[in-house]
């Protein structure tokens, strides 16, 4: 599974009621009904688990989109 | 069940880790912060159970603890204890109280003094346990205890706290949810009652029929010691009230010989409630065991080293729990000890006697089936029942019967001590326990009935239940006759009764109809009930009956003459 697929998997797992679009590159907080600030928090925790990575407090508080996540995970 | 989840900190609703609870029940996350609200707010009574997750740090500012008045802080805790008591006095619905109070502290300072924070936590926990012994519906979860296994640093997360006021990490939520689920499961469903074990390569190493009595591996060292420790764990479970049954393809006399005479065996013949040692299919044997013990197969757990036998049992018996033991015997002892299916919140003195009682039940069932004339047989076993007052020394048994009797139970009302004593007070000489002796032993207190006086003409059979281990003696006929006698003394003309369907009380379904009661329609019942409205029916499926005291003829009474 490549990183994009992994991220998509996490999105699907976190936002079970939403339709996750095929292209997720530009997806951000607010685009899905479940992706509100609480959803964002839970999403980031799932990302950490899936990628076995830990964001520090500052980075965690700044990430609000797929782009942000990818940048901080250092993946393409 | 509707469950409210309350906490002093944010719990991150919608987090994936809560799903194991959400799959079981409807979970409502209340706003975090003020947990006293759930204890005093009548709005919250809509819930069937309240979970309270309490982080001591949220109430006691640990960073300023040095300058705080400890007594004052402890008073905060005692106030919360009082609120819990008040809530449980008013409303019986369960509270699960999870307490966390962990700080990483300074080793040097702790070398001479216990930390104040820990002192307060321990005081809190002591008080919780003290009141939990008085309030059966209060359950305690020591969160620090369950987190210690994985490590506090992995379970708490300061970052999450600063960003969202959630003190826990993903893992912390996972562990908390998992343990809350365990408690919830045991609140809503009863524990397993029977452990069914294979013998060869399960109780001992080797095959008795081939290796012989002298050569089975048990007790020496190495693998024999692992089997011995496994047997010790089984014995402990037995002492806590679980029945041990054997089901093995062997010669019965060989196995009995090992149980009675082999010095290294921890499990002895007397520890085994029932056994089926023969060459029949295990599923058949297990079904027979269920009959002999009078217990539902859904309360059985099966442990066998042979995967083929396990698969067959799984395929042929739906409700049984089949455990897959670890391939390595050295892990069995721990695996069985960690299994929580048998665990219950409290063990009583009664639990220790269980094996003996069920053993005599299984002997009774076997001997009865050998007799062609049931009546003649029952007349000969010296049945000797009598009524017992509900009072201080018997109330706990009466409550236990109410809480635990599933099968022969007409209405399955789960009374606690207060409700039961109240019922008795309002209906003098109408609520009794029944004890029984016969040649199989003293069975103790095994039945309970409560009558509600409706008016000078009508009695309502509010409670009628019997422990399943003495079924098959037509004792229900004797008990009913006692009820008729009470009614006659009170010059009552009619008894109304209800059979309330549950998943488990099918065995009692025909009782009223077969013992002189006449079935009436719901409408007829409602008409009678409307005159009194003392009978609360909660809309479950029910059958209603009436009996005319002057005309009722109860069968089987000659057995008790």
Q: Inter-chain contact A41–B13, Cβ cutoff 8 Å?
A: no
pLDDT in tens, A2-25: 888 999 999 999 999 999 999 999
Both B250 and B148 in a single domain?
no
Q: Inter-chain contact B164–A41, Cβ cutoff 8 Å?
A: yes
Both B322 and B401 in a single domain?
no
Closest CA to B472 of B402, B378, B407, B555: B378
In the A/B pair of chains, how many CB contacts fall below 8 A?
Answer: 32
- Residue A17 inside a domain? The answer is no
- Residue A19 inside a domain? The answer is no
- Residue B357 inside a domain? The answer is no
Query: Given CB atoms, is A34 within the 8 Å cutoff of chain B?
Result: yes
pLDDT at B535: 64
Both B401 and B540 in a single domain?
yes
pLDDT in tens, B119-140: 999 999 999 999 998 888 899 9
**What mean pLDDT do residues A29-49 have?**
95
Both B30 and B44 in a single domain?
yes
- Residue B318 inside a domain? The answer is yes
Question: Using CA atoms, how far apart are residues B490 and B457, in angstroms rounded to an integer?
Answer: 9
Number of domains chain A contains:
1
| CATH code where residue B226 lies | 3.40.50.1000
Give chain B's residues under pLDDT 70.
44, 531-539
Could you give the ipTM of this predicted complex?
Answer: 0.93
- Residue B138 inside a domain? The answer is yes
Q: Inter-chain contact B16–A60, Cβ cutoff 8 Å?
A: no
Both B322 and B377 in a single domain?
no
| CATH code where residue B466 lies | 3.40.630.30
- Residue B356 inside a domain? The answer is no
Both B396 and B331 in a single domain?
no
Both B176 and B206 in a single domain?
no
| CATH code where residue B93 lies | 3.40.50.1110
Question: Using CA atoms, how far apart are residues A72 and B7, in angstroms rounded to an integer?
Answer: 32
Q: Which long-range contacts (CB under 8 A, 24 or more apart) does B392-395 make?
A: B394/B433, B394/B445, B395/B420, B395/B421
pLDDT at B287: 96
- Residue B502 inside a domain? The answer is yes
Domain end among B120, B155, B188:
B188
Both B200 and B180 in a single domain?
no
Query: Given CB atoms, is A49 within the 8 Å cutoff of chain B?
Result: yes
Question: B495 — phi, psi (to 5°)?
Answer: -115, 130
Mutation target to probe the B interface, by most B beta carbons within 10 A, among A35, A42, A43, A50 is A42
- Residue B134 inside a domain? The answer is yes
Both B157 and B267 in a single domain?
no
Question: Using CA atoms, how far apart are residues B418 and B515, in angstroms rounded to an integer?
Answer: 31
- Residue B364 inside a domain? The answer is no
| CATH code where residue A68 lies | 1.10.1200.10
**pLDDT-derived band of residue A31, with 50, 70 and 90 as boundaries?**
very high
Question: Using CA atoms, how far apart are residues B507 and B510, in angstroms rounded to an integer?
Answer: 7
- Residue A60 inside a domain? The answer is yes
Domain of A68 in residue numbering reads as 3-12+25-73
Domain of B255 in residue numbering reads as 194-349
DSSP, collapsed to helix, strand or coil, labels residue B15 as: coil
pLDDT at B536: 60
Q: Looking at CA atoms only, how far is residue A3 from chain B in angstroms?
A: 21
What percent of the residues of chain B are helix, what percent strand, and what percent coil, each to the nearest 5? 45, 20, 35
Looking only at the bridges linking them, the beta strands covering B384-389 and B321-323 are unpaired
Which chain A residues touch B162 with a CB distance below 8 Å? 57
- Residue A18 inside a domain? The answer is no
Number of domains chain B contains:
3
Q: Which residues, in sequence order, are CB contacts of B16 under 8 Å at separation 6+?
A: A13, A14, A42, A46
Burial of B318 (0-12, 13-18, 19+ CB in 10 A): exposed
Domain end among B170, B188, B206:
B188
Closest CA to B501 of B540, B450, B467: B540
Q: Looking at CA atoms only, how far is residue A1 from chain B in angstroms?
A: 22
Mutation target to probe the B interface, by most B beta carbons within 10 A, among A16, A17, A41, A54 is A41
Both B272 and B406 in a single domain?
no
How far are the Cα atoms of B192, B204, B230, B244, B268 from residue B235, in angstroms, in the given order? Answer: 16, 14, 9, 9, 9
- Residue B365 inside a domain? The answer is no
């Amino acid at each position: 599974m490549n990183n994009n697929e992994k991220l998509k998997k996490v999105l699907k797992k976190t936002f079970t009621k939403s339709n996750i679009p095929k292209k997720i590159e530009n997806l951000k907080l607010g685009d899905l009904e479940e992706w509100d600030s609480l959803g964002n928090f839970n999403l980031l925790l799932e990302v950490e688990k899936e990628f076995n990575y830990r964001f520090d407090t500052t980075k965690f508080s700044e990430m609000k989109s797929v782009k942000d996540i990818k940048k901080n995970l250092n993946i393409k | 069940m509707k469950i409210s989840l309350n906490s002093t900190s944010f719990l991150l609703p919608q987090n994936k880790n809560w799903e194991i609870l959400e799959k079981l029940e409807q979970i409502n996350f209340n706003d975090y912060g003020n947990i006293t609200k759930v204890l005093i707010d009548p709005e919250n009574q809509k819930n069937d159970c309240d979970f309270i997750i309490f982080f001591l740090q949220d109430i006691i500012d640990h960073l300023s603890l040095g300058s705080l008045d400890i007594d004052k802080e402890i008073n905060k805790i005692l106030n919360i204890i009082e609120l819990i008591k008040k809530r449980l006095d008013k409303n019986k619905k369960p509270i699960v109280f999870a307490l966390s109070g962990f700080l990483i502290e300074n080793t040097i300072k702790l070398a001479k003094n216990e930390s104040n924070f820990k002192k307060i936590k321990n005081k809190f926990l002591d008080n919780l346990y003290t009141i939990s012994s008085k309030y059966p519906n209060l359950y305690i979860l020591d969160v620090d205890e369950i987190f210690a296994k994985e490590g506090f640093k992995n379970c708490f997360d300061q970052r999450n706290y600063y960003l969202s006021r959630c003190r826990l990490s993903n893992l912390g939520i996972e562990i908390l949810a998992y343990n809350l689920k365990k408690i919830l499961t045991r609140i809503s469903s009863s524990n397993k009652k029977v452990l069914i074990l294979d013998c060869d390569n399960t109780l001992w190493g080797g095959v008795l029929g081939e290796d012989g009595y002298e050569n089975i591996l048990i007790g020496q060292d190495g693998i024999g010691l692992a089997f011995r420790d496994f047997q010790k764990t089984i014995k402990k479970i037995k002492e806590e009230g679980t029945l041990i049954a054997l089901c093995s393809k062997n010669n019965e006399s060989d196995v009995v010989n090992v149980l009675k005479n082999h010095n290294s065996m921890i499990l002895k013949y007397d520890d085994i409630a029932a056994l089926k040692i023969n060459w029949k299919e295990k599923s058949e044997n297990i079904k027979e065991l269920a009959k002999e013990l009078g217990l539902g197969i859904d309360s059985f757990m099966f442990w066998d080293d042979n995967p083929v036998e396990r698969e067959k049992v799984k395929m042929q018996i739906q409700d049984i729990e089949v455990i897959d033991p670890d391939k390595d015997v050295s892990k069995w002892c721990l695996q069985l000890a960690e299994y929580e299916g048998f665990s219950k919140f409290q063990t009583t003195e009664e639990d220790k006697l269980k094996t003996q009682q069920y053993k005599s039940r299984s002997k009774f069932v076997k001997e009865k089936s050998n007799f062609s004339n049931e009546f003649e047989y029952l007349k000969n076993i010296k049945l000797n029942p009598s009524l017992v007052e509900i009072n201080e020394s018997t109330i706990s048994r009466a409550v236990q019967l109410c809480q635990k009797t599933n099968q022969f139970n007409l209405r399955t009302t789960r009374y606690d001590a207060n409700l039961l004593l109240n019922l008795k007070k309002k209906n003098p000489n109408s609520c009794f326990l029944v004890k029984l002796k016969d040649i199989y032993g003293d069975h103790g207190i095994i039945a309970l009935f409560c009558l509600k006086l409706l008016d000078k003409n009508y009695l309502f059979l509010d409670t009628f239940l019997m422990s399943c281990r003495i079924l098959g003696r037509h004792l229900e006929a004797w008990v009913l006759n006692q009820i008729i006698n009470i009614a006659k003394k009170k010059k009552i003309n009619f008894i109304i009764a209800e059979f309330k369907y549950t998943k488990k009380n099918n065995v009692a379904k025909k009782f009223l109809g077969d013992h002189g009661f006449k079935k009436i329609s719901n409408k007829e019942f409602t008409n009678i009930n409307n005159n009194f409205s003392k009978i609360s029916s909660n809309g479950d499926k029910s059958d209603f009956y009436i009996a005319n005291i002057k005309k009722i003829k109860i069968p089987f009474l000659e057995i008790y003459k």
